[in-house]
Amino acid sequence: MSEALLVQEAGAAPLAAPASGARQFWRRLRAQRAATVAAAVVLLLFLAALAAPLLSALAGQDPDTYHPDLVDSASGGVPIGSFGGIGADHWFGVEPQTGRDLFARVVYGARVSLGVAVAATFLQVVIGVVVGLAAALGNRWVDQVLSRITDINVALPLMVIALGLLAVVPPSFPRPVLIALVIGGINWAGTSKIVRAQALTLKSLDFVSAARLGGRGRWSIARRELLPSLAAPVITYAALLFPVNITVEAALSFLGVGIKPPTPSWGQMLTEADTWYQSAPTYLLLPAGLLFVTVLALTVLGEGVRTALDPRAASRLSIGTGRKQRGERTKERAS
């Protein structure tokens, strides 16, 4: 998904979404079936990642042990058995050449892929909100400087810069942290632009003026009046950034500057698997399929969150309004 599109979509979120409360949000989210399923999938993936050591132990495997006896050495190290050596001991089969257990590597890989994406998204949101708010609330000079910095940040080619940075930093620096820092540090401009635009609009609304006339300070206004209203677009944008960050991590690992072996990550597994697509297709399909499912689920969930936070969209779709939905829909179709 292009960044411009993301900004546009998030920008379409309500200006002053009334602080309708978490309960209403959950009700609207739950009312969307696709989003509910997506949320369940995401939850399952996060749980699997958190419980990776437990799950591996349950399977009686670990991600790093070599099993040379499970691959056919004379044929390039292709796994012995059908579907990449899938069986009772190795639920997802074994890795070609090494015989390492793929189930263990996949669940451990989820930790890196999801962990990096969570950290990177968090960073992008924090930097974006701080810069955006400061630009909106600061004087003209501050706004000019911060907005130009944001523009430069938008223009930075993420992959190119990340490749450069990751190649320069000494290998002793923990890779997952570094990758999260790099992605988060480069790709925050979208959030900041949305926050600035929303905050500028909000600033001229009556309730903010009232607060200002009441003698409240800038930070107090930002915290008490602006931030609650900014929550909707920011959460929406974050939900859409998250899957993008997963794919960026995968792409960096695929290009060889991501997670270092033997630590598994889905992107790194994809790299290793790319030559095996003909002789051991399951090896490639596993990380590729998981990435696909994860990114799809997160995107659907992100869309669901956006809808749930947007009262106009929610009412248009008759979501969470408590009215009979069927009749409404028919009417809409008829018109």
Partner 1 sequence: MSQPSVISRRVATNAAVSLALVAGLAACAGPQDNGGGGSGGGSGASGEPQKGGTLTVLNSNPQEDFDPARLYTSGGGNVPSLVFRTLTTRNRENGAAGAEVVPDLATDLGTPSRNATVWTYTLKDGLKYEDGTAITSADIKYGIERSFAAELSGGAPYLRDWLIGGADYQGPYKDKKGLDSIEVPDEKTIVFRLNKPEGEFPYLATQTQTTPVPKAEDKGTKYEEHPVSSGPYKVVSNENDGERLVLERNPHWSAATDEERKAYPDRIDVRSGLDSAVINQRLSASQGVDAAAVTTDTNLGPAELAKVSGDKELAARVGTGHFGYTNYIAFNPKVKPFDDPKVRQAISYAVDRSSVINAAGGSSLAEPATTYLPDQKSFGHTPYDHFPAGETGNAAKARQLLKEAGHPKGLTVTLTHSNDKDFETSPEIATAIQAALKKAGITVELKGLESNDYSDTIHSASKEPGFFLAHWGADWPSGGPFLAPIFDGRQIVKDGANFNTGFLNDASVNKEIDEINKLTDLDAAAQRWGALDKRIGERALTVPLFHPVYKRLVGQDVKNVVISDWTGVLDISQAAVK
Peptide linkage before 262 cis (omega within 30 of 0): yes
Q: Is the CB of 127 or the CB of 182 nearer to partner 1?
A: 182
Contact present, 222 and 133 (Cβ < 8 Å):
yes
Provide CB contacts within 8 A for 61, sequence distance 6+: 89, 90, 101, 103, 104
Closest CA to 234 of 124, 93, 320: 124
**In Å, what is the CA distance from 64 to each residue of 48, 158, 272?**
18, 32, 15
Least separation in angstroms between CB 94 and partner 1:
11
Least separation in angstroms between CB 255 and partner 1:
11
Least separation in angstroms between CB 229 and partner 1:
48
Neighbours of 10 (CB within 10 A): 25
Closest CA to 101 of 121, 113, 85, 122: 85
Binding mask 169-198 for partner 1 (x = CB under 8 A): --xx--------------------------
Count interface residues toward partner 1 (CB under 8 A). Answer: 29
Q: Is the CB of 72 or the CB of 332 nearer to partner 1?
A: 72
User: How far apart are alpha carbons 246 and 290 in whole angstroms?
Assistant: 11
Least separation in angstroms between CB 65 and partner 1:
7
Binding mask 221-260 for partner 1 (x = CB under 8 A): -----------------------------------x---x
- Which residues from 94-123 bind partner 1, rule CB under 8 A? 96-99
Least separation in angstroms between CB 126 and partner 1:
31
Least separation in angstroms between CB 289 and partner 1:
19
Least separation in angstroms between CB 286 and partner 1:
15
258-261 contacts: CB < 8 A, separation 24 or more? Answer: 258/166, 258/175, 258/179, 259/112, 259/175, 259/176, 259/179, 260/171, 260/175
**What sign does the CA torsion over 294, 295, 297, 298 have?**
positive
- Binding test (CB under 8 A) with partner 1, winner from 167, 206, 333, 334: 167
Residue where the block lists tokens 């001991």: 89
Q: How far apart are the first and last CA of the chain?
A: 32
Contact present, 263 and 112 (Cβ < 8 Å):
yes
Least separation in angstroms between CB 281 and partner 1:
11
- Binding test (CB under 8 A) with partner 1, winner from 275, 289, 312, 331: 275
Q: Is the CB of 26 or the CB of 277 nearer to partner 1?
A: 277
Q: Does 261 bind partner 1 (CB under 8 A)?
A: yes
Q: Is the CB of 18 or the CB of 76 nearer to partner 1?
A: 76
User: How far apart are alpha carbons 163 and 227 in whole angstroms?
Assistant: 34
- Which residues from 51-80 bind partner 1, rule CB under 8 A? 64-66, 68, 71-78
Interface residues toward partner 1, by CB under 8 A: 64-66, 68, 71-78, 96-99, 167, 171-172, 256, 260-262, 275-280
